Amino acid sequence: MKTIHILSPGFTSPNSAAFLFPLIKFKSALKDYGFHVLIKYAVDQSITECDFLLIDSKFFKKSWSKDFDSTLKSIAALNKKTKVIWCDQSDSTGTFLGQVLPHVHRYLKAQVLKDRSEYMNSHYASRIYAEYYHKKYGITDQDPFIDQPVKSKDDLEKIGVSWNSGFMHYGMIGPYMIRVREKIPLDSMLAFASIRSRAKAPRLLDITCRMGISYDRETVCYQRKKIREILKDNLPTGKISRSAYFKEMENSKICVSPFGLGEITLKDFECFLSGSMLLKPDMAHMETWPNLFQDNKTCLFHSWDADDIQDKIDWALSHNSERTAIAKAGQDLYGSHTLGEKAAILFAEHFKEILS
Tens digits of residue pLDDT in 54-75: 999 999 988 877 788 899 999 9
324 and 349 fall within a common domain: no
137 and 9 fall within a common domain: yes
151 and 201 fall within a common domain: no
Residue 173 lies in a domain: no
If you average pLDDT over each of 113-127, 176-190, 214-228, 341-355, which comes out highest? 341-355
Q: Compute the distance between CA of residue 320 and CA of residue 206 in angstroms, rounded to an integer.
A: 11
CATH value at residue 61: 3.40.50
pLDDT band at 116 (very low <50, low <70, confident <90, very high): very high
pLDDT band at 213 (very low <50, low <70, confident <90, very high): confident
What per-residue confidence (pLDDT) applies to 145?
75
207 and 69 fall within a common domain: no
Residue 180 lies in a domain: no
Residue 147 lies in a domain: yes
Whether residue 232 is predicted with pLDDT greater than 90 in this model: the reply is: no
Tally of structural domains, the chain? 2
pLDDT band at 175 (very low <50, low <70, confident <90, very high): confident
307 and 351 fall within a common domain: no
Residue 139 lies in a domain: yes
Residue 172 lies in a domain: no
150 and 25 fall within a common domain: yes
219 and 248 fall within a common domain: yes
What per-residue confidence (pLDDT) applies to 62?
83
Residue 102 lies in a domain: yes
142 and 216 fall within a common domain: no
Task: Name the nearest CA neighbour of 320 among 309, 308, 328.
Answer: 328
CATH value at residue 295: 3.40.50.2000
What per-residue confidence (pLDDT) applies to 182?
80
What mean pLDDT value characterizes the chain? 93
What per-residue confidence (pLDDT) applies to 353?
96
62 and 199 fall within a common domain: no
Whether residue 227 is predicted with pLDDT greater than 80 in this model: the reply is: yes
Residue 311 lies in a domain: yes
Domain membership of residue 140 as a residue range = 2-165+344-355
Residue 177 lies in a domain: no
pTM: 0.94
Mean pLDDT for the stretch of residues 130-158 = 89
Lowest-pLDDT range of 142-146, 193-197, 326-330: 142-146
Mean pLDDT for the stretch of residues 116-129 = 92
200 and 327 fall within a common domain: yes
pLDDT digits (tens, 9 = 90+) for 308-321: 999 999 999 999 99
pLDDT band at 187 (very low <50, low <70, confident <90, very high): confident
140 and 8 fall within a common domain: yes
Q: Are 111 and 93 in contact (CB under 8 A)?
A: yes
What per-residue confidence (pLDDT) applies to 174?
86
9 and 67 fall within a common domain: yes
